[in-house]
Structure 1
Amino acid sequence: MADLPIETIFEILTRVPAKVVGRSKSVCKEWYVLLSTRDFIRVYCSRSLVSSNQRVLLMDDLTCSVHPIIFQSYDYGPRSIVTLPFNHQNNDVSILSHLNGLLCVCLNHTNELLLWNPTTTAFKRLSTPDSLGIYINNLDAVGLYADDADDYKVLHIKRRCGVYESYVYYRELNFWRNIPFLTRQEYLRPNFYWSPGTFCGGTLYFTLCECWVGGTNVVICF
């Protein structure tokens, strides 16, 4: 396969199982670079959208596994164990948002945000020395989205002492930027729960729900 054109290798590797893609990164430096590009990830994910390629990722205290979805019986197939590439403790990793196979996760013992691609096993820590990329459960909200250039970004909404701040992480630039965010004062109260972000039709949506029955329910979009 080493004698094949890189375009042919690209076409082959976008059609193989995720475990093969992860192992292929160690073949040579050229393959590692190829499998880490945004174009490869985008094409691989688009070809994985057919029903025969759908997978579900399950995490518990001790293991992380991937199962094929059997749509005919509405069941899961045999699992494949996924080794987490970052240091963690039992019951320590929470999945906050996902988009096209890319996950934004939180390490609960440090509150650090990470971007993780289970297909290639690559990950990137998003925390900085000035406390950006630090997630507080039940206060913050996170959403993954893609811009017009297919660059993946993370929107992190932080709620601290009755004040909202919102930051966008630029994956290509490895950089956080504060963005203006105005909303009604009542949504600053801790009795409002923010859902994870859902990216649809070029817009990132969050639902806000009050903690009691019959409370206010709203949708906020970016």
Structure 2
Amino acid sequence: MADLPTHTIVFEILTRLLAKDVGRSKSVCKQWYALLSTQDFVKIHCSRSVVSSNQRVLLIDDLTCSVRPIISNNNDYGPSSTVTFPFHHQNNDVSILSHLNGLLCVCLNHTYELLLWNPTTTAFKRLSTPDSHGFYINNLDAIGLYVDADDDYKVLHIKRRSGVLGVYVYSREVDSWRNIPFITRQEYLSPHFNWLAGTFCGGTLYFTVCGGTLYFSRAILSTKNDSVDEII
């Protein structure tokens, strides 16, 4: 039997594997690593994973972190399996701020540090730097994960400090932060407005800004090609 083409192996066979096995397959060769890292592969793998037997939910409480399968016929959870935090933490005091394709951006609440964490492979990356990047303050900041045109996973961090709004982007490929100029309505700098977590859809990262208990005011921010624009 003739050898199967690499493209067939990657997109017809490897897209059906568990995420942990896909991670191991990246070490086969440089060509496989490049193909398994593309956004096309991620999309196909995710679409083939979205079946009732493969759906999982990650639960974090005060004492434990666990993964449970979703039972679709009664909207219940199956038996849980414990997930061990691979990074140093205090009393499991961890908050999930954003997620994309199984990758989580979390905050260590006792140090305010941001981390990228893959609970399936247990790999993680600290985003904090000596020049104060990568630190999150609840009720003042907002986080969103997105993928750019070059399949580079990025973290968008919106900060409010002393009435000044700053927008910063972390690149996983370059492993560094940089500032992106952004002008918004002055009232959105007020702590009375709550910035919700970003949602990545159709190549754009959207945020909702809510003001007051009735959530009557909304603004949506979009990021494309590492530029930030506001649309109402």
TM-score range, shorter chain: 0.7 to 0.9
Alignment check: 8 A CA contact 1:114 1:125 kept: yes
2:128 aligns with: 127
CA RMSD of aligned residues (A): 2.9
Question: Structure 1: which amino acid aligns with 2:138?
Answer: N
Question: Structure 1: which amino acid aligns with 2:107?
Answer: C
Q: Distance in 1 between matches of 2:107 and 2:12?
A: 33
Residue 38 of structure 1: CA displacement? Answer: 2.6
TM-score, normalization by structure 2: 0.80
Residue 98 of structure 1: CA displacement? Answer: 0.2
Residue 58 of structure 1: CA displacement? Answer: 0.3
1:113 aligns with: 114
Aligned residues: 215
2:151 aligns with: 150
Question: Structure 1: which amino acid aligns with 2:51?
Answer: V
Percent identity reads: 66
1:151-200 alpha-carbon deviations (Å, 9 max, x no partner): 11000001000000000101111011100111010110000000000001
1:81 aligns with: 82
Q: Distance in 1 between matches of 2:124 and 2:33?
A: 13
Q: Distance in 2 between matches of 1:214 and 1:11?
A: 45
1:116-160 alpha-carbon deviations (Å, 9 max, x no partner): 011111100001000001111110000000112221100000100
SS at match of 1:61: coil
TM-score, normalization by structure 1: 0.84
**Which range moved further: 40-49 or 58-67?**
40-49
1:97 aligns with: 98
Q: Distance in 2 between matches of 1:180 and 1:198?
A: 20
1:173 aligns with: 174
Q: Distance in 2 between matches of 1:141 and 1:208?
A: 10
Question: Structure 2: which amino acid aligns with 1:220?
Answer: L
Q: Distance in 2 between matches of 1:29 and 1:99?
A: 19
